[in-house]
């Protein structure tokens, strides 16, 4: 039974999803390093939140690990590069806590604007000092949103409801997209100079680390408020404390920190005009259930050989697109396995043509699956995954090209794969019959109709009477049952290809006997 280790607390609904799929669940929390390394050694899946750090050292101990799921958005506690090198899928739940994080951002912003925490503390101290807690209105103010992803967009929607002016900085958003959102796009420094409220919604990368530091705090209005419910490393905390103490900002609110838990000696704790919460952005009942179930479902898919919806080291596949291309992902892997087992020589290049309706969709995941099927028989099961297949192909000097065409002959959609080796060229085409019935319909120009499942004995021969019968007799005499037969030929008496689906693997010595029959050119056993 496949095992999934849960290293941080997640909602029970996520655990139930894993168990319902027949997976063994090892639920733990706050494991010491040595124990984590010991327990992860047998796991094929791992679920964490923000507490557990998945380092290269941990991954070295995870000999069977195939997928890591982050029950949340950020993956900065996971060494994604090390995981990718090892072929491990890293996935997250980018939408599960979107609303929770957005609403907490607004909780902090409103609390800042109306001095709520200080007013509560004063009242509980027996004071009644209304004049000390005069706030500011949001109406007609300018909010600057740094990062216009899913959470940033939800923040923008609610800002418009407050009748605020919304400006945003995001290097990956076009002005056309911003216009549709009702947002004005600006560069970072001008945004900081203009905004009355500034909120961060960027991922933590080498480019965004310490995005806001002393020089940029100097650009902000002394009446401005700053909110960070994204990632702690986006802000230089010492510089923020200095700016607040010097009165260069009206206030700030932080839900995330460079070091978590926040050390008791942190200067942030004693800093005036600063609201602090202990990373509560995703802490709603609804969000915790949502991310746990979402990540669990994706882990089930990956361990079942399917692509993840939200893998951070693979192309993102929207659910509506995945429902269309998933059968082609399976078909492509079968085509890749067929190609490498029948081709002779070293693979130099792979050319993939996507034809018909399929050309209108995202093809990246399909090509990854093709490369996985192509490389796995060469490098061994478990070595190649959807994640590292392109990298492994590149390392071996295999040139991969993709193209699309609306023309697909007699089929709604078609995949044609040409593999060039140092000894020749091999072409295989596949399609779908109906919605999920995958078929091989062409091999090197020969029309066939093959269901790529199990084992197949593939041969080339001269088309003449008796050959098919002799091969069938040989297999029958050796206890090999033929489940299906498909023959394609160039013309009467010319070269032909034969594919026999068989219930059991054909022993090498029997394959050699088949190849020695009169009129036979070659014979090979293929495992799909």
The residues annotated with a catalytic role in the active site are 231, 260, 279
259 backbone φψ class: left, alpha, beta (φ>0; ψ -120 to 50): beta
For residue 4, what are the CA distances in angstroms to 97, 303, 513? 22, 10, 46
- Find, among 444, 464, 480, 476, the residue nearest to 517 by Cα: 464
Other CB atoms within a 10 A radius of the CB of residue 385 amount to 23
Show Cβ contacts of residue 270 under 8 Å, excluding neighbours closer than 6 positions: none
CA triple 145-148-151, angle to 5 deg: 90
Q: How far is CA 228 from CA 106, 200, 217, 281, in A?
A: 11, 5, 14, 10
Those residues with Cβ within 8 angstroms of residue 509's Cβ, 6 or more apart along the chain or in another chain = none
Indicate the SS3 state at residue 286.
Answer: helix
Q: In whole angstroms, what is the distance from residue 464 CA to residue 519 CA?
A: 8
Phi, psi dihedrals of residue 76, rounded to the nearest 5° = -70, -10
């Amino acid at each position: 039974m496949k095992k999934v280790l849960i290293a941080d607390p997640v909602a029970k609904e996520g655990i139930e999803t894993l168990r319902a799929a027949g997976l063994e669940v090892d639920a733990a929390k706050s494991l010491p390093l040595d124990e984590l390394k010991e327990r992860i050694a047998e796991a094929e899946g791992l679920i964490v939140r923000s507490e557990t750090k998945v380092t290269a050292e941990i991954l070295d101990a995870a000999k069977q690990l195939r997928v890591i799921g982050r029950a949340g958005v950020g993956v900065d506690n996971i060494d994604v590069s090390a995981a990718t090198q090892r072929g491990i899928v890293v996935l997250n739940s980018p939408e599960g806590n979107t609303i929770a994080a957005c609403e907490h951002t607004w909780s902090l912003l409103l609390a800042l604007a109306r001095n709520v925490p200080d007013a509560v503390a004063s009242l509980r101290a027996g004071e009644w000092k209304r004049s000390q807690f005069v706030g500011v209105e949001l109406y007609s103010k300018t909010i600057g949103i740094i990062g216009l992803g899913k959470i940033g967009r939800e923040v923008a929607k609610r800002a418009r409801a407050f009748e605020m002016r919304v400006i945003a900085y995001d290097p990956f958003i076009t002005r056309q997209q911003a216009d549709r959102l009702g947002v004005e796009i600006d560069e970072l420094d001008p945004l900081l100079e203009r905004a009355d409220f500034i909120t961060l919604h960027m991922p933590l990368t080498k480019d965004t680390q310490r995005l806001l530091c002393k020089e940029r705090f100097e650009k902000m209005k002394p009446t401005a408020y700053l909110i960070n419910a994204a990632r702690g490393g986006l802000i230089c905390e010492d510089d923020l404390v200095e700016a607040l103490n010097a009165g260069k900002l009206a206030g700030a609110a932080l839900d995330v920190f460079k070091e978590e838990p926040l050390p008791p000696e942190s200067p942030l704790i004693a800093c005036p005009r600063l609201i602090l919460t202990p990373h509560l952005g995703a802490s709603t009942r609804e969000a915790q259930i949502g991310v746990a179930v979402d990540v669990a479902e994706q882990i089930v898919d990956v361990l079942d050989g399917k692509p993840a919806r939200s893998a951070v080291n693979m192309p993102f596949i929207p659910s509506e697109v995945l429902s269309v291309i998933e059968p082609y992902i399976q078909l492509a892997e079968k085509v890749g396995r067929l190609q490498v087992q029948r081709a002779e020589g070293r693979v130099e290049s792979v050319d993939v043509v996507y034809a018909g309706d399929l050309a209108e969709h995202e093809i990246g995941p399909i090509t990854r699956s093709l490369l996985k099927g192509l490389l796995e028989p060469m490098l061994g099961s478990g070595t190649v995954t959807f994640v590292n297949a392109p990298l492994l192909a590149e390392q071996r000097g295999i040139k991969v090209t993709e193209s699309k065409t609306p023309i697909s002959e007699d089929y709604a959609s078609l995949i044609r794969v040409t593999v060039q080796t140092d000894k020749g060229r091999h072409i295989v085409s596949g399609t779908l019959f109906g919605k999920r019935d995958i078929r091989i319909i062409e091999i090197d120009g020969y029309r066939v109709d093959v269901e790529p499942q199990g084992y197949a004995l593939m041969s080339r021969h001269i088309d003449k009477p008796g050959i098919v019968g002799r091969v069938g007799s040989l297999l029958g005499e050796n206890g090999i049952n033929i489940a299906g037969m498909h023959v394609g030929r160039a013309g009467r008496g010319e070269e032909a290809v034969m594919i026999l689906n068989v219930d059991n693997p054909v022993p090498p010595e029997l394959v050699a006997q088949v190849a020695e029959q009169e009129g036979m050119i070659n014979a090979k056993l293929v495992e799909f």
